[in-house]
Amino acid sequence: MSDAVRAYTVRLELVDEPGELLRALEPIAENGGNLLSIFHERGNLTPRGQIPVEVDIEATPDRFDAIVEALRRAGVNVVQAGAEQYSEEVTVVVTGHIVDTDLSGTLSSIQECGQASVADVSLSAPEGTEGVSSARLRLVTESGGASAALSAIRRVADEKDLRVITPLAGGEA
């Protein structure tokens, strides 16, 4: 069964320079990967200031391993590689002194908890960077991971004296 073609998702971070997306796609093609989709978020930046790119491919497990190795050898920042497909999405609002308490560090802490990936961030700071601000965070999790992701966000918010507004759980009496 190891020769069966499977779908995989590879999450990358690319610098915003001409040719970087092509440089990331070449190792996939050269190692027999079949592209299913590419989600290129040029308008957003990761906490490290790079562009998040999610590539869905089909390959045998052996070819997939070769693709990931070739991407890393080519100097492409591979954030996540595997068959995991995010199947849940949750949006939260975080308020407080977000910029003053290091927004990048907050986003990194959420990602590092391993329960969620930050897919999108919108920041509003009407009083400037030293005032109270709010951020809308769109998170993606594996199936069944939303509750654990929300707990992780609450821990990070408590550490930084921020407030979290979460969606109401549906179907509860």
Alpha-carbon distances, residue 120 vs 77, 90, 137, 138 (angstroms): 19, 11, 6, 5
DSSP string, 107-125: HHHHHHTSS-EEEEEEEE-
End-to-end CA distance of the chain: give it in Å, rounded.
Answer: 46
CATH of the domain at 21: 3.30.70.260
Are residues 11 and 41 located together in one domain of the fold? yes
- 2 pLDDT band (50/70/90 cuts)? low
3-state SS, residue 38: strand
3-state SS, residue 6: strand
Alpha-carbon distances, residue 73 vs 55, 70, 76, 96 (angstroms): 18, 5, 7, 41
Kindly report the pTM of this predicted structure: 0.51
The overall average pLDDT reported for the chain is 82
- Residue finishing a domain among 50, 82, 114: 82
Give bridge partners of residue 13 from the DSSP assignment. 52, 77
Dump pLDDT digits (tens) for 30-55: 999 999 889 887 777 776 678 889 99
* Number of structural domains in the chain: 2
For residue 22, the enclosing domain spans: 6-82
